[in-house]
Amino acid sequence: MSFITRFAPSPTGPLHLGHAFSALTAHDMACAEGGIFHLRIDDIDQSRARAQWEDQIYDDLAWLGLDWPRPVRRQSDHLPEYRAALDRLTAKGLTFPCRCTRRAIEEAAANAPQEGGTEFGPDGRIYPGTCRNRSMDTATPEDVIRLDMARAVDLPGPAAFTETGPEHAGTHSLDPQDLIQTVGDVVLARRGMGASYHLSVVVDDAAQAITHVVRGADLFTATRIHVLLQRLLDLPTPVYHHHRLIRDESGKRLAKRDDARAIATYRAEGKTPQDIRRMVGLPAS
Ligand code: GLU
């Protein structure tokens, strides 16, 4: 069985213990399977990406003992590929331009609460549909582009994915009604950005022939979006493995701003890579 996985950090801050756990878990799994571990730089959001953080990522991961094939894929080098994927979805009549501000979305949602669904999905507040009937011909550079979920879920045949992570192991089928009510019209492209995270991650995983996506449990609910986009774009669906999250003493998930737990801080304090493995609960290598 081939096993190709990746670790895909965004260079928007220092890597912390949660990133170390994610990268080491994916790397260990690839080693155990005689597979390949890719590093990918998720710098689609150029307003937040910084070269300084990208350099620090290479440095911290090498220090941890990881290695990966070069050249590294960087999203900012592949904008035409995301554009082409977006164009394919548009050609299928599955996209619409949206000019709603966050505030307008809040107000519309408050005035017309959805029946049976949730208020928030993996992509934030469920979009109330204000711009859904706009045609793509009316799109301006200020608009975001959304997926028309009700149309998108009209697939020929069932869609499912396999999860091997500890919390949700098994086969998960996509439920059209559930996608409409608890995910909604997700954003595919943002102002000033070629593509949203959801669209770019799907294109990247296919371009790198990723067979196993290993990432944090916080992205489990977004996986349905990715599997749906893979179906719509005729791309293969990898196996997914969502690992536990590393939390601080109060149970909160670590964030980029948790500089205190940055790998660079531990390095400066004289900790070793084996210390880091121990701190995140991984066996010595
Ligand atoms: N850049 C994304 C993140 O850091 C990657 C998520 C993924 O692995 O799909 O959350």
42 lines ligand 1 (CB under 6 A): yes
User: What's the token pair of residue 92?
Assistant: 């299928």
Residue-range domains of the chain with CATH: 1-75+247-285 (3.40.50.620), 78-237 (3.40.50.620)
Tell me, what DSSP letter sits at residue 185? S
Mean pLDDT of all residues in 70-79: 97
Q: pLDDT class for 250, splitting at 50, 70, 90?
A: confident
% the chain with pLDDT above 90: 86
188 lines ligand 1 (CB under 6 A): no
Confidence at residue 252, expressed as pLDDT on a 0 to 100 scale: 81
Q: Is the pLDDT of residue 104 over 70?
A: yes
Confidence at residue 193, expressed as pLDDT on a 0 to 100 scale: 78
Confidence at residue 256, expressed as pLDDT on a 0 to 100 scale: 64
Q: What is the pLDDT of residues 224-249, one digit of tens each?
A: 999 999 999 999 999 999 999 998 87
Q: pLDDT class for 257, splitting at 50, 70, 90?
A: low
Q: What is the pLDDT of residues 175-223, one digit of tens each?
A: 999 999 999 999 999 887 789 999 999 999 999 999 999 999 999 999 9
Tell me, what DSSP letter sits at residue 253? B
Mean pLDDT of all residues in 268-277: 97
SS (H, E, C) 118-157: CCEECCEECCCCCCCCCCHHHCCCCCEEEECHHHHCCCCC
Q: Which atom of ligand 1 is nearest to the CA of 218?
A: 10
Positive or negative, the CA dihedral 249, 254, 256, 261 is: positive
Mean pLDDT of all residues in 67-89: 97
Of 197, 227, 239, 241, which is best to mutate to test ligand 1, by the most ligand atoms within 8 angstroms of its C-beta? 197
CA of 144 to the centre of ligand 1 (A): 21
39 lines ligand 1 (CB under 6 A): no
Closest residue to atom 9 of ligand 1, CA basis: 201
Q: pLDDT class for 165, splitting at 50, 70, 90?
A: very high
Q: Which atom of ligand 1 is nearest to the CA of 10?
A: 1
Strand order in the sheet with 36-41: 4-7, 36-41, 73-74
241 lines ligand 1 (CB under 6 A): no
Long-range CB contacts (within 8 A, 24+) of 166-175: 166/243, 166/244, 167/217, 167/220, 167/242, 167/244, 168/220, 168/242, 172/223, 172/224, 174/224, 174/227, 174/228
219 lines ligand 1 (CB under 6 A): yes
Mean pLDDT of all residues in 81-107: 96
Mean pLDDT of all residues in 55-61: 98
Confidence at residue 259, expressed as pLDDT on a 0 to 100 scale: 73
Q: What is the pLDDT of residues 21-42, one digit of tens each?
A: 999 999 999 999 999 999 999 9
- Whether this model's pTM surpasses 0.85: yes
Q: Which atom of ligand 1 is nearest to the CA of 215?
A: 8
Closest residue to atom 6 of ligand 1, CA basis: 8
Phi, psi of 90 (to 5 degrees): -65, -40
Averaged pLDDT score across all residues of the chain: 94
Q: Are strands 73-74 and 212-216 parallel, antiparallel or unpaired?
A: unpaired
